[in-house]
Structure 1
Amino acid sequence: MAASEPSATPSAQTKRSLLDQLELDTRLLGMIGAFVLVCVVFNIMTDGRFLTPRNIFTLTVQTVSVAIMATGMVFIIVTRHIDLSVGAILAASSAVMAMTQTQYLPNALGLGLEHPLTPWITIAVGLVVGAAIGCFNGWLVGYQGIPAFIVTLGGFLVWRNVGWYQTSGQTIGPLDPTFMAFGGINGTLGVGLSWIFAALAVAATCWLLFQARRNKVSHDMTPKPLWAEVSLAGLLSALIIGFVWIMNSYEIPTRRLERLFEARGEIMPEGYTEGYGVPISVFLLIAIAIAMTVIARKTRLGRYIFATGGNPDAAELSGINTRLLTVKIFGLMGALCALSAVVASSRLANHTNDIGTLDELRVIAAAVIGGTALSGGIGTIYGAILGALIMQSLASGMAMMGVDAPLQNIVVGAVLVFAVWIDIQYRKRMGEKI
């Protein structure tokens, strides 16, 4: 009788045991590896121009708008819905905010573009409009029983053109200076404050890891090996410091510095240089990512979202108001679209009618590439943000190589299908429901 083959080699067992001890998310590691590979390949093919401080700064700023919406799309897809109207809601919200600060407030209240209240009233109006559109979509889906695909496909056609009628098809600008600070290059912390942010972020990261370890011990759970905790803290701290160093390394052009000194009535010292620092839009993304993660993991709403996505019938039988839940998640998606409109229009310094075009596809792709299962019940906020970064890296790298737009779309589409195929194979291997 032939001897049975061993189920796994000793090296494979050791590797699996090590991964279990470190509690590493293999799907996340795969995405990080893919992102690093994309960056290395494009850096080689662009003769080192891809990984320069200037391009990384630009890449970061361009990612924020899609990443913000991708965090909301995670909740939409987790509950087995889809939202094809996010780009149109962004455009409608942007149009409302542009008209509010350039027409409505000056005419109604006499508040000009540089009035302290103008940007905040504008953002509040945009959030209300975006959330209202989202809630309306959710009401149609949850209470009227219309499939989300149809509702949001209709919204895709409706809301962008509603925005067009608000502006009569015109580009609206310039926008309020404080409002434009959320766009990236027009609003950064500067070198000094950025280093302070790095120090605080490193301290917060180490404290959170320590608290997580202490909680496990207090609940009689086996924590990670101490060396693993220290290594993880060191790696995350190095990433934070490295990111801030790159942002600070992107220097403000000399002519712009001269204008800044002239505006203050000063003469710029010879040889003076200054870095941009971390963009304010990045802080907005970080704040939203933290808030959405807390909602997903620590709140009743988050538990209801994932329970509904896992088994809608069981969730409803257990007492969850799935119809109201649908309204809430679509309303949240609409509000996030409005915040993305703030970032996108601020980065452009005006509202244009093509703002947010094809963003719905980029947002859905970012969530799916980030590991959100189209079958529902599975998804992470950090995965969606990383997916958005991968998507933007592909677009930026191909643009730097001079790749035509049609070929760029072909590559992105192929990557999306490939990412879903990889995810399906991974779930089959792990024994998860597809």
Structure 2
Amino acid sequence: MTPVFQPASISAKFLPRLLQAAGGGGRDTRLLAMVIVLGLIWLSANVLTGGIFLSPRNLFNLSLQVSVVAIMASGMILVIVTRHIDLSVGSQVGFLGVLGGLVQSVWFPGNTHAWWIASLAMLAGGMLIGLIQGVLVAYARIPSFVVTLGGLLFLRNAAYELNDGTTIAPLNETFQILGGGQNGVLGGPLSWAAALAVTAYLAFNLRRRYQRKKKLGIRNPLRAFDLLSAAIWCLGAFGFVAVMNSYKRPGTDEAMGLAFPVLILIAVTVLMTVLARRHRFGRHVFAVGGDPHAARLTGINTQRVVLKVFVLMGFLSGLASIVLTARLNAAASGAGTMMELYVIAAAVIGGTSLAGGAGTILGGCVGALIMQSLQSAMVLLGIASPLQSMVLAGVLVLAVWIDTMWRERRPS
């Protein structure tokens, strides 16, 4: 039979395929919708702020703010995928920040190695917290909501008790580099080199994919959308670097470039994506979230998977605490207050289902960008802090409602 050209059918498939080319994976168009929403937020905020929102300085600051939330959101996604929740992440950031401050300023004052000792202590502390909470959830069978709510209250007050609520500042100069700022950046040339490295990796990946498919006898080893995917990521990398380089060091013409928190976020996003999509552990996580009973019948140790997820969440909370504490150059017991709202909202807005079994790391990053963009816009517009929290809480409820409606209308 002669094939019939159907333009309507092709156009209906274009946007999902474009999303897949951009790296979203699958045919979930919610991520594309979130990117469109993000663009509308940016355009509206830029108009309302008289062009300040999209200025290089604000975008540089926005990249630092997004890094902290997105790092934790990448772990929260796996927690939610397994049908659990972690309400203690904000308190973990505050507690671990005070712990790191004490290591640098009280326990090892003036020690040149204090910065990495503090960093290791914060990461180990986060993993220990995750281990304790994971054991209670996975093996003691206490609901994660109760366990992590208790962790939220315990750790927030423990942070206060560690140093009687006193802010510890300043911190080790080397440690401050991890938080960005004037010294925590790559500079212009190295930032361009990073963009070139991304391009080289994409070209290498395309070549490897071409050779692998050719050996398998596939007639068209590379499709147009494979090339489109590489082009989108290359343009994104060079465009982002161009924006970061357009922000100059105060009083000079020297480009700031990519900040270290952004590099940390990129590394976390790549590693977590590989872990979730390519590694056996990631497949087990989604299997447990999809149907825990069926996962047990296939031989998956569901309790161990849940435990590992909480330990990983604790590690990422420690990493986020390092970035935030270094950026503030101070360790305060109140750091990270209400941050669990941003992290959970970022995961849900990015397409992670609260029913479990579905979510992407890239979606969580987009969700974090939306949440921080809204907050940044409200700050620039002079909106009071309580009203900001009210708006963001409303956004979280709206995101959950959209997720519920999407799941009800999704074909089985």
**In percent, how many aligned pairs have the same letter?**
43
Which residue in the other structure is 1:18 paired with? 14
- Does 1:69 find its partner at 2:75? no
Tell me the SS of whatever aligns to 1:283: helix
* Contact 1:21 1:224 (8 Å CA) reproduced: no
Match 1:172 to one of 164, 168, 172: 168
Which residue in the other structure is 2:24 paired with? none
Paired with 2:391 and 2:103, the residues of 1 have a C-alpha distance of 39
Which residue in the other structure is 2:298 paired with? 318
Paired with 1:76 and 1:97, the residues of 2 have a C-alpha distance of 25
Q: Deviations over 1:335-394 (max 9, x none)?
A: 111100000111100111210000111100000001001111101111101100110000
Within 5 Å, which residues of 2 pair with 1:31-430? Answer: 31-106=34-109, 112-113=110-111, 115=112, 117-185=113-181, 186-212=183-209, 214-216=211-213, 218=215, 226-254=223-251, 273-430=253-410
Moved more, 207-216 or 231-240: 207-216
Displacement of 1:425 after TM fit? Answer: 3.2
Paired with 2:165 and 2:144, the residues of 1 have a C-alpha distance of 28
Question: Which TM-score applies when normalising by structure 2?
Answer: 0.92
Q: Deviations over 1:51-79 (max 9, x none)?
A: 01000000000111111000000110000
Q: Deviations over 1:239-276 (max 9, x none)?
A: 1111111111111111xxxxxxxxxxxxxxxxx52111
* Contact 1:78 1:373 (8 Å CA) reproduced: yes
Paired with 1:215 and 1:421, the residues of 2 have a C-alpha distance of 43
Paired with 1:275 and 1:337, the residues of 2 have a C-alpha distance of 30
* Contact 2:95 2:333 (8 Å CA) reproduced: no
Paired with 2:218 and 2:80, the residues of 1 have a C-alpha distance of 32
Moved more, 416-425 or 73-82: 416-425
Moved more, 411-420 or 66-75: 411-420
Question: Which TM-score applies when normalising by structure 1?
Answer: 0.88
Displacement of 1:225 after TM fit? Answer: 6.7
Gap change, CA 1:20 and 1:101, over 3 Å in 2: closer
Moved more, 292-301 or 332-341: 292-301
CA RMSD of aligned residues (A): 2.0
Gap change, CA 1:429 and 1:211, over 3 Å in 2: farther
Paired with 1:284 and 1:21, the residues of 2 have a C-alpha distance of 29
Query: Which amino acid in the other structure matches residue 144 of structure 2?
Result: A
Displacement of 1:21 after TM fit? Answer: 5.5
Which residue in the other structure is 1:3 paired with? none
Q: Deviations over 1:286-309 (max 9, x none)?
A: 111111111111212111111100
Paired with 1:230 and 1:306, the residues of 2 have a C-alpha distance of 29
Report the count of equivalent residues: 400
Tell me the SS of whatever aligns to 1:183: coil
Paired with 1:310 and 1:334, the residues of 2 have a C-alpha distance of 23
Moved more, 314-323 or 90-99: 314-323
Paired with 1:126 and 1:417, the residues of 2 have a C-alpha distance of 32
Gap change, CA 1:218 and 1:21, over 3 Å in 2: farther
Paired with 1:309 and 1:355, the residues of 2 have a C-alpha distance of 31
Which is greater in Rg?
Answer: 1
Displacement of 1:124 after TM fit? Answer: 0.7
Displacement of 1:220 after TM fit? Answer: 6.1
